[in-house]
Amino acid sequence: MNFIDQLNAAWRSNDSLLCVGLDPDVARLPAHLQGRPDGIVEFCKAIIDATADLACAFKPQIAYFAALGAEDQLEAVCRYLADRYPHIPLILDAKRGDIGATARQYAREAFDRYGAHAVTVNPYMGFDSVEPYMEWEDRGVIVLCRTSNAGGSDLQFLDVGGQPLYQHVARLVAEKWNRNGQCALVVGATFPEELAQVRRIVGDMPLLVPGIGAQGGDIEATVKAGRTAGGAGMMINSSRAILYAQPQGGEDFAQAARRVALETRDAINAHRA
């Protein structure tokens, strides 16, 4: 099963467009996990177990592991997902951007080392920086388009032949780059009008949508702007709001994460029809 098929199956089986981001900040781990050599792994495993039936994808952010020299723990988290939840897509959030042989090594890192079903990439260096990832035809290539940060407008709104650059990227990916049908785009929830523009350009192509939760994106506006006619087409990511949910009424951290993930999934589903 390729990435797109797997994603479609996860949307249906878990009735969910929620992507759970795995951004483990050691300063915010529960007290009993801080200082443990396996603390990050145990934290992520608990979050995964608590939310696996509510998510259409999991998205570990590589920087939170690499900054600590904890790539071995990222490998362990990815193995855990592959062993326990092979039906749920694993997206490696790496935002790689380089050319030729170097891009191919980054692809090997994502797909062979970590076993990711998809990886985020930066299109700034053009098609030959994205093409090496497409050699793995069963994997997803998720291209940055309209990012959720305010500074994204510095470049993404530059005029390119009468259209903003982010729309030019969306058309390039949809009309020229997506030769194997394996591409998706990153479009932030913080800009629902631009999200709607991208959806009109790319048809039913999947969109990875960061920006709800801690970043403040509006769920209703996001879903209405980005959903497909079938009420799917999106991986709406929430990371910190779920990972570091405040426990209530005797909950532990994983139970709190599950509660917020369930609330988020249900809030998304309320606007899918």
Q: Which of the residues are catalytic?
A: 95
DSSP, residue by residue, 201-217:
HHTT--EEE--SGGG--
3-class SS at 223?
Answer: helix
Of 72, 55, 86, 143, give the one whose Cα is nearest residue 114: 72
- Asked if 117 and 91 count as a contact pair (C-beta separation under 8 A), the reply is yes
Containing H/E element for 108? helix 100-108
3-class SS at 19?
Answer: strand
What's the distance, CA 88 to chain centroid?
Answer: 12
- Asked if 29 and 40 count as a contact pair (C-beta separation under 8 A), the reply is yes
